[in-house]
Amino acid sequence: MSHLLRVVSLSLSAVVLLTSAACRRGEADTPVSDLESLRATDRALQQAIAAKDLERTVSFYAADASVLPVAEPIVTGADAIRKEWAHIFAIPGFKSTSTLTKSDVASGEQLAYTQGSYETELETKDGKIATERGKFVSVWKKQADGSWKIVADIYNTDAPPPVHK
């Protein structure tokens, strides 16, 4: 009887260990790794914006993406988004930093969002530096190659934006 109990006990232990190993192995394929990838991609986007790197910034958007900028009409498509970012980067004194405050990957692992705040400096009409504070939400879609691209991007100010040159 003790031999049978030992065999059952060893069998149950093996099942528990195999299940545990399978769960750990599967974690790399869960939204946790997607979330880490999304956050890294968002950091790279913010670095491109801080560097005013137009082509790198635009590369984070899907070809049919839309941007909903402050006090302007919606901008859709790669060419229009490129023009919008070129316009932003040309604002005298433009300097922007952002802080990611929330991010999540949907259960289907194909859509995600990032949310945060930003602080932008720009030169006003009288030559002084003003600071614009605001927030953003970006909707990301996982691409066939596993990368993330923005499909919808909205940002707005916490107060009326400063009048700039």
Q: Output the pLDDT for position 32.
A: 64
Per-residue pLDDT of 83-99, as tens digits, reads 999 999 999 999 999 99
Per-residue pLDDT of 32-85, as tens digits, reads 699 999 999 999 999 999 999 999 999 999 999 999 998 899 999 999 999 999
Query: What is the mean predicted confidence (pLDDT) over 9-15?
Result: 36
User: What's the order of all strands across the beta sheet hosting 95-105?
Assistant: 75-76, 61-68, 148-157, 129-142, 111-123, 95-105
Q: Residue 5 above 50 pLDDT? A: no
- The backbone torsions φ and ψ at residue 82, rounded to the nearest 5 degrees and listed phi first, read -60, -45
Tokens of 158: 């916490």
- Per CATH, the number for 31-157 is 3.10.450.50
What pTM value is reported for the model?
0.77
For the chain, which residues make up each domain, given as ranges?
A: 31-157
Per-residue pLDDT of 126-156, as tens digits, reads 999 999 999 999 999 999 999 999 999 999 9
